[in-house]
Structure formats: C-alpha cells, structure tokens
Amino acid sequence: MIHLSEVSKTFPVHHRKGPLRRTRKLVTAVDAMSFDVAPGEFVGYLGPNGAGKSTTIKMLTGILTPSSGRIRVAGLDPSRRRTELALRLGVVFGQRTTLWWDLPLRDSFALIRRLYKVEQQRFAARLAELTELLDLGPFLGTPVRQLSLGQRMRGDLTAALLHSPALLVLDEPTIGLDVVSKATVREFLARVNAEEGTTILLTTHDLGDIERLCRRVMVIDHGRLAFDGTLDALRATAPADRTLVVDLASPVPAPALPEGVRLVRREGPRLWLAIAPETNAASVVAAVARDHDVADIALREPDIEDVVTRLYRGSPVEA
C-alpha cells in the first residue's frame, strides 16, 4: 500500500547575518528513508518534535515532492497523481479541519460527496453507517464552528472515510480530546481497520493510541527510522526500569535498598523504587519484604512512554 525507497526531503533555510548578508543552509527533514506498509496494516508513526513525521505524511499525500528517492502509495506516485490518489486516500489532521467552518456538517459531507463523485445511494448508506458508529446524529445540522473538538474530530473522520478509501493517514487525531472522546475515536479506528481492512498510518504523540491500536510501530528520529517492529519488540529493545511501590507499615528515615535499586520518590510511608532492567524483580521484592515492615507492595512494568523516551535519547536501534 505504501512503498518508500531511499526517500529524502531537504528544505533551504535562509539566515540573516547583518543587514545585507544572508546565508542559505539545507535542512534534511527526511533522510534516505525506506519502508513498506502492506494492505490492512495499522502502523503507528512516532517521533519527537521536528523528527520528520509531518514531512513524510506530506510526501505520502502528494503535498510535497521528495528531493530524492521513490514513493508509491496505492501504486501511484503521490505528487504526480494527486487527484487520482485522493480517491483512494483519506487524511485527517487533528490540528485543523478539512470541513467548511460555516456549513452544517451535513452540507460539508454533501460537498465532499460531489468532490469524490460518490454515487448518491452509496453515499447515503455510508453516511448513515458512519453517523451511527460515531454518534454524529445530533450534530449533523450544526455548523462546524459550533462543534466541540471531539465532535469536530468525529466529523473529520467521517469526511475522510465517506469515499471508503483504502488508506487512511491520521496526524494526531486524538490531540486535545478528553478520555471519552479518545476512546470513541480509538474504538472506531480499530473497527475500520479490522472490518473494512483499511490500511491506517497513525502519527501521534499519544502512546495510548499506539498501545491500543498499532501492531507495528515505526519510530523516526532526525529523519531516519530509529525502530520498526512490534510494540513488544520496542519494549524489549529499549529496556526501562520497572517500579516497585512499597508502603511501609511504619516510615523509616533511610531504608536499606538491595543492589540495582534506586529510591526515586517518597511520600510518608510510600516509597517508589526503580529496579534496573538487568536486576531480578522477585529477589528485590523478597529483600525489601525481609528488611522492612511492609504493609503493601506493587510492581509496575515500565510503560511505553519510558521506553520511547529512552529511544528518543539513545542511538538508533534495529528490531
């Protein structure tokens, strides 16, 4: 569905050096990137700010032309066959809407139907289906500018999927949404992927999105792929500390700690201990229970945020 081979994108950047002098420098946003995404995959595309995610998406959707390398999306060269590609592609940007600000949602959808030349009966059935899945019924007559962020996002998702594209590209679709709206959007995307077989590329800083949805994760850093594999492989590649939360029956000023363990926080009788990846957690639990009067104890696995933080700071790794 997506094929990138040695794709680079550079931008000229001008700096003023005094009133008359200007220097020109090239910034490499995407650096000889290669990857393939097969039909039906749900792929998370992660990376720190400025890593090159938006630039990749703009090249995939034909908004930007690569400086070098080869891109094919649904068999087409995106920047040369943009109109044709639009019929097979849905795009959602969380930070801005593709809907008409002053029009009721229903009218925006009708315009989109014409743009994509969706046959009237098919459109009506598809809109009814999406409206029900995203619970949009009460808002179809509301102008977009009066919608909440969560309602608008559901409208944008509907707009992107009205023509049943084979590929859906999402840029931060859950940004700014509350937990309930996030859950609705995630559930909907999981369903679209599983039931319709839509290929989905999801860019997000929200690792909850990735954990809930993506079987495969690509991490980009400085325009290059730093990781490409499953979420489990990502966890294993950048091992992070586990946390032992200990409630002491009575607080002690300086608790004795086994080797490979650091005290990271304390609040009254509660201690948070970081256990290094190579240290055996069971023996730490046993040692803490032996040396202290313990009221309660809980072990937390590293969350994916810790793993990704390490990956962003570290050197490139491979799955």
Ligand X SMILES: Nc1ncnc2c1ncn2[C@@H]1O[C@H](COP(=O)(O)OP(=O)(O)OP(=O)(O)O)[C@@H](O)[C@H]1O
> Which residue ranges make up the site for ligand X (CB under 6 A)?
11, 13, 27, 29, 47, 49-55
Whole-angstrom Cα distance, residue 174 to residue 68? Answer: 32
Of 227, 265, 224, give the one whose Cα is nearest residue 246: 265
Whole-angstrom Cα distance, residue 34 to residue 24? Answer: 28
Q: How far is the CB of 138 from ligand X (least distance, A)?
A: 33
Residue whose CB is less far from ligand X, 169 or 261: 169
Whole-angstrom Cα distance, residue 94 to residue 182? Answer: 12
Using alpha carbons, list the distances in angstroms from residue 23 to 9, 10, 27: 20, 16, 13
Tokens 């994108």: give the residue: 9
Burial 168-188 (b: 16+ CB within 10 A, else e): bbbbbbbbebeeebbebbbeb
Q: How far is the CB of 225 from ligand X (least distance, A)?
A: 13
DSSP 105-148: HHHHHHHHHHHTT--HHHHHHHHHHHHHHTT-GGGTTSBGGGS-
Q: How far is the CB of 172 from ligand X (least distance, A)?
A: 8
Q: How far is the CB of 195 from ligand X (least distance, A)?
A: 30
Residue whose CB is less far from ligand X, 13 or 115: 13
Q: How far is the CB of 53 from ligand X (least distance, A)?
A: 3
Residue whose CB is less far from ligand X, 47 or 155: 47
Residue whose CB is less far from ligand X, 104 or 223: 223
Residue whose CB is less far from ligand X, 206 or 241: 206
